[in-house]
Amino acid sequence: MKKILIPYACGEGAKDNGCADAPKHLKNIGLGSHIKARWTGEYKSDKTDKYEIIKDSCSRLSDDVIKAVSKGNFPITIGGDHSMAVGTWSGVTTGLNVQGNFGLIWFDAHMDAHTPQTSDSGAYHGMPLAHLLGYGDEDLCSVGSNMPKISPAHLCLIGIRSFEEKEANLLQKLGVRIFYIDEVKRRGLHDVISEALKIVKNNTQGYGITIDVDVFDPSEAPGTGTKEPDGLHRAEAVEAFCVFKGDKDLRAVELAEYNHHLGNKGITSKLIFDILGAIFK
């Protein structure tokens, strides 16, 4: 199975859109050769309205992912802000025809489970999970196909430490398993991932992982626009992420919110290389 790196050159869902440059930067510093994967071409929306750019970019990403999985390839999507998750996982589930029957592990400092109606900021990188679950803007919920892409029973969030009441209420109502950072620190990341894997593999046809750079501690991942203190640490994460290596049930990986314009040069990109290397090398 060939690994295909698919860029999401859009940062309009974030407050700082510098993350749109991350795919090109990671390509230039050799991510493809590092994990032995081939890049596809970069798409830049010609829309001018922020919402239209996000909708267009997610639709294109979904199409590119559908194309990759239909050829039997393994998509690795590189953002870009986390609104990209609408495109990535709509594409994976639609391309494999497993909507609602696919597991997802969501590594993030935030829940990203607002809808346009509950979000105070209006930032779309805080909304992708709700849309994948079928809540929110009709057009974004319909990317790829007109049905929810992920079932709450097959979803886990890991590393959460910053959220608002309304998004937490939605996930609680749906019964989503959330591993807050306190539990991760108490039990250890390896143990938490082991439990998460049981959930996302139970009666599903594969699973994926999405990694928001802000899940990591800012001391080791300063290159993101939404830093939160007390995150995951590189050494433990690299060791724990080795569990994904060679897992035939893993069907796609997503990386979001890297902004190389922020933080100390090279620190965050090294972490990204190490994390993806643990999964793919």
In this prediction, residue 264 carries a pLDDT of 80
Active site residue 120: no
In this prediction, residue 71 carries a pLDDT of 97
Active site residue 183: no
Which runs of consecutive H residues, i.e. helices, occur in 120-233? 128-132, 138-141, 165-174, 181-187, 189-201
Nearest to 240 by CA among 221, 216, 261: 216
Active site residue 110: yes
Active-site choice (125, 131, 154, 260): 125
Active-site choice (12, 56, 82, 154): 82
**Residue recorded with tokens 């790196």:** 5
Q: Is 180 left (phi over 0), alpha (psi -120 to 50) or beta?
A: beta
| b (16+ CB within 10 A) / e for 240-257 | bbebbeeeeebbbbbbbb
In this prediction, residue 97 carries a pLDDT of 98
In this prediction, residue 249 carries a pLDDT of 99
In this prediction, residue 265 carries a pLDDT of 74
Number of domains in the chain: 1
Token representation of residue 84: 């990209």
**CATH classification at residue 154:** 3.40.800.10
Active-site choice (56, 63, 64, 108): 108
Active-site choice (64, 112, 217, 220): 112
Report the chain's C-alpha Rg in angstroms: 17
Active-site choice (12, 25, 63, 110): 110
In this prediction, residue 212 carries a pLDDT of 99
Active site residue 233: no
Active-site choice (12, 64, 214, 217): 214
The stretches in the chain having pLDDT less than 50 are none
- Burial (0-12, 13-18, 19+ Cβ within 10 Å), 237: buried
Active site residue 249: no
What separation in angstroms does the CA of 8 have from each of 72, 134, 152, 246? Answer: 21, 22, 25, 25
Name beta bridge partners: 5.
Answer: 39, 76
Active-site choice (81, 212, 217, 228): 212
Q: In angstroms, rounded to a whole number, what is the distance separating the alpha carbons of residues 25 and 46? A: 21
What is the domain extent for residue 137? 3-280
Please check whether residue 132 is in contact with residue 149, taking contact to mean a CB–CB distance below 8 angstroms. yes
Active site residue 138: no
Quick check: helix, strand or coil at residue 250?
strand
